[in-house]
Structure 1
């Protein structure tokens, strides 16, 4: 599994990578507000000293210098990079963040007890809650946004720009040497190449949950798919540079999947696949019509917040500012009610 460790003193470089090669799913002007349409209402930070959730605005300059360890989802990683970049710009301490996948993050948080915040692109599993309990931790779930898990093909692929869930399942379960005609006899017989994140990834877990109905083991693992670990840039380049050419069935046509932000940052080279005729985007995520949209989370524990108040203060700051950053990263705001619930839970842990 490929791992990326970032010391956020160099966060400007991380933001640049997000904007270009998808080494992060976020970047841009950290002050621009997000607006969305659809059923989800989003609220920006209030102009006064009290936030939209009813709590005093956190000033990073007032937060102590103790460390915070953050690890987990490669999907949530660029969102956290964007928040921490703003945090540091406003005088807050430097924090480290490790992009190791949702499963790897829960291992570190619930088994090793070696992190304070676990980023996740899926909800925590009951077995992971039990592991946390074994080391005296009770996870607090913090909803921070929404993502549209996005299947992508290259610009040269004109026949697979819309697929059903069944066709996606076939494409990611076929053995090496298969063609697109094996996915659907109506498709031209181009050689098929598929790219998937590793099994420690929350993106992998959610794709397996929706497309394969939580099959264990996932059919992806025994297919001809290229497993790329946490480095979604391999998928970007593998699909974008596949050489797929209409009319020449000797050319390979690839498919991969990752978070919407990685597609957005490479939209000039990739085509987002509509699923069941529904394209990924803010409207279809908010109205629930896009079949593989998903929530994004952070997790911590009240005991951690009691011992290290800077953890709770940072998370409260995160919630106060996430909606003004999330759109530029390439994701979508969470419903206000869930952000309010997360703020209330952290405030309670802080004794506010």
Structure 2
């Protein structure tokens, strides 16, 4: 729960909505997925991948359209889960997956740049100090999440020295109560459907890809088997609930899941309690969260982008088959050009199919 707070706030800002949206989303999704999911101990909450998908929609049409897109995306996920989408994941080439992860990391990093332009010079040493804490603290102890320590230290410094820097409170109001059920206030017309459908498809595919990749990782770590079909439709149910309760949607979180599993968690109870404790902490400590400097969250997000990037793919790129390199770079390039992870993955799969057909044709000849 402590590790979820800074990232939920950061991803809210990444999506262009106020911090309540990401925090509500993380609470609702963690609680719902603890009942519907197919991978016990996996943490589902607001994520950078989904934030990047829905950000253009929130910017152009407003937060109510975002909620509607998340609900529709959840419906798509339930449908995909019931028709066996999880089994198709094995056919997505690894080079596309690597391109997806690398593009996600780059987009998260570039999304921080607006918070580093036209700001007080104090922001830069604060970001540097935050990164230093995040990278160096784990060498001393892993008992407390390093991003959380970084945020506490920088917030304490800001208050003690009375520094004038942008903070979370400047980004929007924080929750002081439980989320409530509500139907998105949008016109129920064909035009609305054409607006939200592309983003809903993005939420569905990107969310399922990241969730099923994380589930496979936890399977390997724990030597257990997850029900990926159930996880697929379970993610959909969680997203539908998120949209109706004023959340921005989400999917499995690799970092928080690793914290949970490596701490010994193996059951659904750990996922359920992470959501409950998150809401309690935010409602009780809302005034404190509001004074967190944005520099601290930027440091956390830069760390997330660095940790997400597959650096091994760069070190071995000269040894990879040329076709795999082309597929990976195509996925990254299209994703960065469109700022849409789903389109990038789609193009990557298409390029992989074309190159595979070309190889088969040469073999036949």
Provide TM-score, normalisation by structure 2: 0.26
Tell me which of the two structures has the higher relative contact order, counting C-alpha pairs closer than 8 angstroms and 6 or more residues apart.
2
Question: Which has the larger share of helix?
Answer: 2
Provide TM-score, normalisation by structure 1: 0.27
Question: Which has the larger share of strand?
Answer: 1
